[in-house]
Structure 1
Amino acid sequence: MLPPPRLPAVTFDTSELTHSLNALKKAQIIGSCYAFSHAFVYFAYAAGFRFGIYLIQAGRMTPEGMFVVFTAIAYGAMAVGEALVLAPEYSKAKSGAAHLFALLEKKPTIDSHSQEGKKPLGQQQQQGGLGLLQVLPTSPYSADEASSVDTGQGLRKQAWPKRFYIYTSCFNESINLILHEDTCEGSLEFRDVSFFYPCRPDVFILQGLSLSIEKGKTVALVGSSGCGKSTSVHLLQRFYDPVQGQVLFDGIDAKDLNVQWLRSQIAIVSQEPVLFNCSIAENIAYGDNSREVSLDEIKEVAKAANIHSFIESLPEKYNTQVGLKGTQLSGGQKQRLAIARALLRRPKILVLDEATSALDNESEKVVQHALDRARRERTCLLVTHKLSTIQNADLIVVLHNGKIREQGTHQELLRNRDIYFKLVNAQSVQ
């Protein structure tokens, strides 16, 4: 038989008794320190007078000298007494500092500042010759390091401000340049991924997840709360590493890639965007801190995010202050501003994590239109519980208890009449 449930009053009394005992113990310690600190002052007075009289009787000190020394002793005793009053606070501060220093000394498993790891190169080839004749030296990281590079044939090329790897090939006196830039293609793969959070090692959030996403495709992850949708996004950004399996970018394990490079290829629009207490232009420019961003480029991404016309209607336009956490803007306006900021980086992979879940119907339509434009020509991963926003996705993946229960297009899943069908019907009723 199960034991009878504890009454709320009994639970409350037990909890309060613990707090009362702790408070009483603390009061006793503070009271003792306070009493001892004041007693110490008077003990010092008594000892000073007694020893001073002894020295005067012995002829080793004058009365005037005794009072000078006594004053110094009195001030010293008062300082010690005041310090003793703070002894309990010192103990608490020492304990807190120990936790702080222990935290500072911890080294993260995934170091976001590390320069180690691969930085794969995308490729763009211009029309021209065929045979590979020679490889030029890697161009410098900045124009300050060198002004030009030598081809070895009397030709000199100006240093490129970005990291490009230049190859020359020649056929029938035509020159061909193949430009390699630090960028990924955008294909993703979860290969037999299992994961649990370190604080809950007995609860697997993902169990053998295998999912392939082709570059340029839009894939939606849906399912009930706790099924692993947001966890997949965390693994994609490498906030955590899988316990088992691999997360692959263009066929390369995320563990082998440079963390900064990997995250620079991904832009994310979350449910509650973070805006800074500065102008609209500055908030958008924060999307790419690696370079100077022109106002024309800011306007371009604002148009793509469907917020340019609203900004132009403001008295100060792009210099308008958004307020602390964007309090001067509505939810839909903040979300479109976040989309513009994400697009500024020109990411190959766009992640939309519940981007419209907190918006009303009117704002959702405007933001959804901006998201549809933002998804073009890039790999997009949608995480949402609003099924009306993912009907045009190339692939819809339904997660259940960390596993893929079903996947397909909107129409295919409706015909299956499984979890997705039930979710759609439940939202239609609501």
Structure 2
Amino acid sequence: MRRWRSWPAWLLFLGSLMGWPQRQRDVEGQADFVQLRKAVPGWRRGPRGLRSFYGDSIPVPPPGHPDHPVGAEVQPFANQNGGVDDTIAPPRLYMYGPAASPLARGYAVDCSAWHTSGSAEREQLVDQVLTVLRRNGFAVLEGMVPAAEQLAMEAAAVRHFETLPEGYFTSPLRADRSQVHVPYEEPWSAEWLVPNDLVLQVTARYVINNMACGRSEEEQQAAWCQWVTQGSDMDWFYQVPPQQGPLATEPPHGCTCVGRAEELGPWLGRVMITKTPKQSPLMTRHRDIILPGPFAQLTVGVPLTPLVANNGPLALRPGSHVMDSPGYEVVTNIPHGSIMLYDSFVDHRAVEHHGTEDRYVLYYEFETRGIFTGYVDGHFGKEASKSEHDFREVVDPVLRSYVAQLQDQRIMA
């Protein structure tokens, strides 16, 4: 149901987007600015004298980072209860388990044939995943990865959190969660993980929104409004290339600087593990990014702890990436052997974790240049930044080859 199509409704939603505490990522930097300003006089200019690109919201690095403001009472983003949702939840549709709904099959694609198929069959699978992803804002890829290896990574995740190497920082998220970057080494360097070929082909065709590169916040807002009023169509973003200038060559503080300013399409961002402690509360609904809208950042989720309905899996509102509002959320308690792709602009949150053990999920992101994520240089530590570079050196050449092929096809067409 397209509830945002009426003029008053989308104006209200636009106001909620543009009037937010403009801090978009679940990191400690997503702070209450008033508290931060009182605690640290002069902080409005930001670390190293840089003003925030997004109004009164300052990207704040986690404790241990050289730019962390000493003495500041920094809260995880969302509301003053630490990102916990205390409202009445909308109806939930579970994808798997005893409470699974048959309707949930529409959000999943059986990709088990990928490993034995020829090129024609693989192209069909890419098309199937893209269709589901574009329609809903997320897609579950069943049978995509080796379940045993996926499960074995959980122990490595626990060790990484408990004995964090020197040069790595942990960053708190909303609702008691926390996050850390992983090193480029086994098991995180496995060929089936971040360099997953199906994921890279889908990413090259899905992440096409280059509106953030080189444009100010006001210019992005104006373009976003134009996209909504013209029907929220994905193909609209093909006509918005990067805009050359200082904002493209030197993205503002807190904006991603992946890739090169003059090039279209996605690059690898970060590779992180999120820890959800046992008995963690329900998280507030949010979008990982706001501007420049959808099709600008794609997140891949790889469960390391087996997911069930109530140990903190993600719940997403299908279609919310293109301003649809179905009135329910889909709980993606996906089985091992599966992974999930979701548009970072889709409305989502993690549900309650009623279990007795901590839960771990690996996330990695692909994004276009200039997006305001709130991650700053060295956000997860100096050594973590080196790991980001190592991952990108391996993954980006393959990803960019797919991007180049698509651009050649569009030129020839």
What is the TM-score of this pair, normalised by structure 1?
0.23
Write 1 or 2 for the structure with the bigger share of helix: 1
Q: Of Structure 1 and Structure 2, which has the larger fraction of its residues in strand? A: 1
> Higher RCO, 1 or 2 (CA under 8 Å, sep at least 6)?
2
Q: TM-score, normalised by structure 2?
A: 0.24
Say which one has the larger Rg.
Answer: 1
